[in-house]
Chains A and B, each alone.
Chain A
């Protein structure tokens, strides 16, 4: 990613691989197929009259199915979490004469706090200066009432 295009890119996440291990997916799908087979056999066995065997097979099938779905969901979640979030950083420009006029814009490379800018204040005509650079964290932190 070129830094010159930073302002456009800074709010995006960096490209990360969302791939899940092929072996894991394969295993999960094999288990899922076996669980479906077990469920079918359970239905067959039930109609043949062996209710206990049918119950055991159905339980095995359902548990295996639940486990494979859970594993797949967990792996997808883990893969999705691998992202470096790049926060949006804002620059606040103020007036050197302290006329209370403040504007905010996205951070540009070369900005630093106390940097005097060439542009003049629209309100009083005085020199402008960068007074703050910060990021805003949007998500609320979890509180634990203790």
Chain B
């Protein structure tokens, strides 16, 4: 009895650490299997759709290791343009790579976008696995309780994200709408049946009569997996109308807090758009220049819902979001005004 007691005094922390290491190890095995499954799905899709003459596996391996270096921020002036340029280059480079992997799809922009999204999900899984493995090995090497403890504490969230990406892989491969497509789906419902034209970059716009006003509805071009550059599209639409816009309404998927219901619609102020911030910056700049008010509507969901096939609750909330937009237009603009409505998000599986 005393031996156990003394043993626990000296080795209690170490025993605790071994238990944590074991937990992390189990999750790491699970992550490895998810990552491998992701890679397998990507290879199968490319082989089936792209009909490559050579085995695409080595190229996919290289793709999964692709990295992007953020611009220097010591002197932050002009960093948005630099970041924008780097992101454009990355996007173009990855698209070229997909075209080389799947030569038969060179002219099929929808499938190229879907494949790019599939590979990006596989890339995210690969990255998550490698980071968790890094901290696991580091913790084991140094036998540092604090390295292992930090990893073990965030593991449930990391696993949730990894499972979400695993689910996203299938959705992207098959071209199914995802939870993040709630914004484009609202915009699609509003613009469907009206003349649609293209806007920079990878976005579409339609002029729609709504509640006695003219609504310029913008979304990323679908049905391929594409988020477009709503920042550029909104800039172009405002400039085309010489800034004579009563307000801008952005609809996006918003992360819900635990306890909130999936598909809940909430209203707020500001640029409802995620990503690295380039699009939000461009939109805010233009709105400030012309003193245009910016309203936001979000459809709540968690990270898993956002990247996996769209849930029924989210689909059902589209009508509520449209009603909310109409109400905002009626209450905050005058008849005859022009408003811009942007459906922000991935347009995969959502046409126009």
Residues of A within 8 A of B (CB): 1-4, 6, 10, 14, 16-17, 78, 81-82, 84-87, 89, 107, 109-115, 132-137, 144, 146
Q: Is B175 an interface residue (CB 8 A)?
A: yes
Contact between B223 and A112 (Cβ–Cβ < 8 Å)? Answer: yes
A134 touches which of B33, B37, B314 (Cβ 8 Å): B314
A112 touches which of B33, B170, B351 (Cβ 8 Å): B351
> How far, in whole Å, are A109 and B348 apart by their CA atoms in the complex?
12
Contact between B315 and A107 (Cβ–Cβ < 8 Å)? Answer: no
Whole-angstrom distance from the CB of B264 to the nearest CB of chain A? 13
Contact between A146 and B259 (Cβ–Cβ < 8 Å)? Answer: yes
The bracket for how many chain B residues form the interface is 35 or more
Contact between B44 and A84 (Cβ–Cβ < 8 Å)? Answer: no
Closest to B318 in A: A132
> How far, in whole Å, are A109 and B173 apart by their CA atoms in the complex?
9
Contact between A134 and B311 (Cβ–Cβ < 8 Å)? Answer: yes
Contacts of B312 in A (CB 8 A): 134-137
> How far, in whole Å, are A89 and B29 apart by their CA atoms in the complex?
28
Interface residues of B in 24-43 (CB under 8 A from A): 26, 29-30, 33-34, 37, 41
Q: Is B185 an interface residue (CB 8 A)?
A: yes
Whole-angstrom distance from the CB of B31 to the nearest CB of chain A? 10
Closest to B193 in A: A96
> How far, in whole Å, are A134 and B315 apart by their CA atoms in the complex?
7
B163 touches which of A84, A110, A113, A132 (Cβ 8 Å): A84
Contact between B223 and A113 (Cβ–Cβ < 8 Å)? Answer: yes
Q: A82-B33, A87-B309, A146-B259 are in contact. Are A114 and B352 (CB under 8 A)?
A: yes
Interface centre among A81, A86, A144 (most CB of B within 10 A): A86
